[in-house]
Structure 1
Amino acid sequence: MFNIDLFPQALKSDENGQTRSCLLQQTTMGESVTEQELWFAYPMNLPMPEDDDCDSYLLATLLPAMQLRAAIRVHGSVSHELLANLTELQYVWSKWLPERYFLIDIQVDRIRDQDLQVESAIAAFSGGVDAQFTAYRHATGRAGYATRDIKAGVFVHGFDIPLDDTEGFNSAVEIATQVLSDINVDLLPVKTNVRALWSIDWEEYHAAAIASVLCGLKRYAGIGLIGSGDSYDVLLTPWGSHPITDPLLSCGNFRIIHDGAGFRRSEKLIILSSWSIGIRNLRVCWAGNKHDKNCGHCEKCVRTRLNLLLAGVDNPACFDTPIDSSLFRFMVLKSDAVRIDWSLIRQEIIETGRGLEWLPYIEKVLKRKSSPKLSGLFPFGSKRRMWVKKMLMRNK
């Protein structure tokens, strides 16, 4: 059994920005102690929470602590609303995956009951379909009564782009800045080590990690939008970002909204197809050697190409080469979530008649057995994972 103590640190500022951090002290029953630092680096001139405000740190720590069965002691302040939400969130994950996530105790030095919420919203932004759709439909008023005033998209270095790839991230930021400026939305680049800190399934953890980053901007905006992956009619459960769990990542003065689940990905792309600079600069790839562009042949790239075909967009400029049958030859679907997406594409092709020439290839892919999950053998950010990626790219 573990105990995890969270010790908030003083804000550090220099010419590169400002960093909020927390010392994580893990103690085992044998009294051995290990210490790690959790940090978030934000741009300069943005209002930051008080140093003892631990909402972001607790959001980042909860699921890993539940996995370790570790009680948490926060040596700082936490919003009462967040503590109530995380109580419920624990019940959700312990029911979804009772063999992996366990109910734990949380103790806090100071509970904040009254927090002032500021106006406007920010949105998690990676350049992908879901992020672009959320930014575009709110910035252009296409969300109806649900439209939020988005001040900025938040692009995180350390999530799909590893911290050691500064060149790739800077290039991706430059492209994303141009895209968002077209709809009068700023881009805020943020760095964090939250993903590299824990050994946890990213598919289950990513929304909590995103919320921990966005929450640190609570004095800049009062709402954080996380673009949906699945639509309401095909929700995958359990999953890290979900209409049930995302709102439970909210605190007293910062609300998390799960956005866009009324649309399937092909439907999102139909709306995005009128935004030429967005389509031209879609960034969906995580498997390629260059993190600022799409490789064009990984599973996610091929899936997105098919979604674009269904949306009436043939061979967009975000991919260097046209789609062809060789892309399907060795395609293996690695998870139930991905298999559902491919099944939906097959269904939509049959219903709409668009892209029928690719249907036999899709059906062959769906019939192939899934490969074993290798995230444990090749963890994100590891030298072993990077070496394997380079070897695979070299053999293409």
Structure 2
Amino acid sequence: MFNIDLFPQALKSDENGQTRSCLLKKTTMGESVTEQELWFAYPINLPMPADDDCDSYLLATLLPAMQLRAAIRVHGSVSHELLANLTELQYVWNKWLPERYFLIDIQVDRIRARDVQVEGAIAAFSGGVDAQFTAYRHATGRAGYATRDIKAGVFVHGFDIPLDDTEGFDSAVEIATKVLSDINVDLLPVKTNVRTLWSIDWEEYHAAAIASVLCGLKRYAGIGLIGSGDSYDVLLTPWGSHPITDPLLSGGNFRIIHDGAGFRRSEKLIILSNWSIGIRNLRVCWAGNKHDRNCGHCEKCVRTRLNLLLAGVDNPACFDTPIDSSLFRFMVLKSDAVRIDWYLIRQEMIETGKGLEWLPYIEKVLKRKSSPKLSGLLPFGSKRRMWVKKMLMRNK
């Protein structure tokens, strides 16, 4: 059994930026101690939380600690509302994956009962479909009464672009800055080691990691938007970013909103097709050698190409070459989540009559076995499992 102590450190600032950090001390029952530093590097001249404010650090630590069955002791302050939400979040993950996430105790030196929330919103921004859709629809007022005053997109170095790829990140930042400036939204580049600090499934952890970054900007904006992946009618459970769990990453002065789940990706792309600079600069790829652009032939690139076809966008400039049949020849779907996305594309093509020339290739890809583990992502008895089973039977 572990104990994890969080010791907030003083803010470090220089001409290159400002870094918030926390010392993590892991203690085993045998009293052996290991120390690690969790850090977030933000641009200069942005207002930062108080040094003892540990909301971000606790957000980053909770799920890994639950995996380790490690009690957490915070030697600083935490929002009372965040603690209440994280209590509920523990129950969610423990019910979803009881063999992996265990209920743990959290002790805090000082609980902040009342926090003041500032105006405005920020959005996690990677340049992908979900991030672009969230930024675009809020900046242009297309979210109706739910429209937020979006001040900036936050682009994180250390998530899909490794920390050692400075050149790739700088180039991606330059492109993203140009894209967001078209809708009068700033870009804030942030660096963090949160992804490399823990041995945890990124598909389950990514929203908590994103929230930990955004929360550090709570004195700049009081709302953080995380673009949805799945739409409400085909929600994937368990998954790291979800309309159930994302709001539970909120504290007293910083609210996380799961945004855009009323739209499937092809529907998002139909709206984004009105934003030419956005479509031209979509960045969806994490498999290519160059992290500032799309390789064009990995599974996610091909899947995005198909969604673009459904949206009426043929061979956009974000891909260097046109789509062709060779891209499907050796395509293997490596997870249940990805396989479901391909089934949805197949279903939409049949329903809309768009992209039907690619249907035979999609059918071949879907017939290739990839040892799916349905018990986790498609729980026995769930509507989603029944739907996928029906689709599989049709495909035989």
Give yes or no for TM over 0.5.
yes
Alignment-derived partner of residue 69 in structure 1: 69
Q: Give the CA deviation at 1:15.
A: 1.2
Q: Give the CA deviation at 1:117.
A: 0.4
Q: 369-378 or 49-58: which moved more?
A: 369-378
Alignment-derived partner of residue 55 in structure 2: 55
| Superposition map of 1:186-335 within 5 A | 186-335=186-335
Matched residues in 1 for 2:386 and 2:155: separation? 22
Q: Give the CA deviation at 1:17.
A: 0.1
SS of the residue 1:226 aligns to: strand
Q: 1:352 to 1:384 in 2, by over 3 A?
A: closer
CA RMSD of aligned residues (A): 7.2
Matched residues in 1 for 2:256 and 2:377: separation? 33
Q: Segments of 4+ in structure 1 off by > 3 A?
A: 371-396
Q: Is the 8 A contact 1:287 1:389 kept in 2?
A: no
* 1:73-94 per-position Cα deviation (integer Å, ceiling 9, x unaligned): 0000000000000000000000
Matched residues in 1 for 2:383 and 2:37: separation? 21
Q: Give the CA deviation at 1:384.
A: 36
* 1:2-28 per-position Cα deviation (integer Å, ceiling 9, x unaligned): 000000000000111000000000000
Q: 1:326 to 1:141 in 2, by over 3 A?
A: same
Q: Give the CA deviation at 1:370.
A: 1.4
Unaligned residue ranges in structure 2 (runs of 5+): none
Matched residues in 1 for 2:283 and 2:182: separation? 16
Q: 1:147 to 1:140 in 2, by over 3 A?
A: same
Q: Give the CA deviation at 1:387.
A: 39
Q: 1:152 to 1:9 in 2, by over 3 A?
A: same
Q: Is the 8 A contact 2:363 2:395 kept in 1?
A: no
Q: Is the 8 A contact 1:162 1:381 kept in 2?
A: no
Matched residues in 1 for 2:291 and 2:339: separation? 24
Q: Is the 8 A contact 1:196 1:380 kept in 2?
A: no
Matched residues in 2 for 1:381 and 1:132: separation? 35
Q: 1:40 to 1:374 in 2, by over 3 A?
A: farther
Q: Give the CA deviation at 1:367.
A: 1.0
Unaligned residue ranges in structure 1 (runs of 5+): none
* 1:267-309 per-position Cα deviation (integer Å, ceiling 9, x unaligned): 0000000100000000000000000000000000000000000
Q: Give the CA deviation at 1:334.
A: 1.0
Matched residues in 2 for 1:235 and 1:392: separation? 18
Q: Give the CA deviation at 1:371.
A: 5.7
Q: Is the 8 A contact 1:332 1:365 kept in 2?
A: yes
Q: 1:138 to 1:391 in 2, by over 3 A?
A: closer
Q: Give the CA deviation at 1:376.
A: 17
Q: Is the 8 A contact 2:343 2:391 kept in 1?
A: no
SS of the residue 1:27 aligns to: strand
Q: Is the 8 A contact 2:11 2:18 kept in 1?
A: yes
Q: Is the 8 A contact 1:289 1:389 kept in 2?
A: no
Q: Give the CA deviation at 1:380.
A: 31
- Taking every aligned residue pair, what percent have the same amino acid on both sides? 95
SS of the residue 2:84 aligns to: helix
Q: Give the CA deviation at 1:381.
A: 37
* 1:12-71 per-position Cα deviation (integer Å, ceiling 9, x unaligned): 001110000000000001110000000000000000000000000000000000000000
When normalised by structure 2's length, the TM-score is: 0.94
Q: 1:388 to 1:227 in 2, by over 3 A?
A: closer
Q: Give the CA deviation at 1:375.
A: 19
Q: Is the 8 A contact 1:229 1:261 kept in 2?
A: yes
Alignment-derived partner of residue 11 in structure 2: 11
Q: Is the 8 A contact 2:237 2:377 kept in 1?
A: no
Q: 1:154 to 1:389 in 2, by over 3 A?
A: farther
Q: Give the CA deviation at 1:383.
A: 41
SS of the residue 2:377 aligns to: coil
